[in-house]
Structure 1
Amino acid sequence: MKARLSVLDLSPVGGEATQAQAVRETIAVAQAAERLGYDRFWVAEHHNMRSLGSASP
């Protein structure tokens, strides 16, 4: 039986990065997860947090 693995990303905004850069990095992580055979990619949603690029879906 194959284990089904998922990735959860918060799209963090680090240092001097912008939220747009964080989202671009999240897309790159999603593409890597797909290449590696992960079953799902989740993006957490947290409103009004400047440190996260995933403030809304």
Structure 2
Amino acid sequence: MTRPSIPFSVLDLAPIAEGGNAAEAFAHTADLARHAESLGYRRYWMAEHHGMPGIASAATAVLIGHVAATTSRIRVGAGGIMLPNHSPLVIAEQFGTLATLY
């Protein structure tokens, strides 16, 4: 398949559909990532949000691993990590591990 001339990306919050749950949101996120990959999208970004009942992307590094495990070519990363909520060293270790695995 030919890649689009503009390097398109997806920014995903892993939204929870009305009446749905986080497990379904994670499955939809993986489906969307695979679909974006099949269309030639270059990057798939996960956004970190906390305390929002309709958003399931609080554990960003874990969700990035889930998406990366279900895709093969698209680059997966974080649209942003809120460092005031995390130790920078832990984030560096998590993302270093993800980079090695995927």
TM-score (norm 2): 0.52
Higher helix share: 2
Give how far 1:32 is off. Answer: 0.2
User: Counterpart amino acid of 1:45?
Assistant: E
C-alpha displacement of 1:26: 0.4
Partner residue of 2:25? 22
Q: Which of structure 1's runs of 4+ aligned residues deviate more than 6 A?
A: none
Structure-1 residue corresponding to 2:35: 32
Gaps of 5+ in 1: none
Partner Cα distance (1:41, 1:17) in 2: 23
What does 1:1-57 align with in structure 2 at a 5 Å threshold?
2-57=5-60
Indicate the structure (1 or 2) with the bigger Cα radius of gyration: 2
RMSD: 0.8
Give unpaired runs (5+ residues) of structure 2: 61-102
SS at match of 2:55: coil
Higher normalized contact order (CA 8 Å, seq sep 6+, divided by chain length)? 1
Distance 1:33 1:14 in 2: 20
- Identity rate, percent: 43
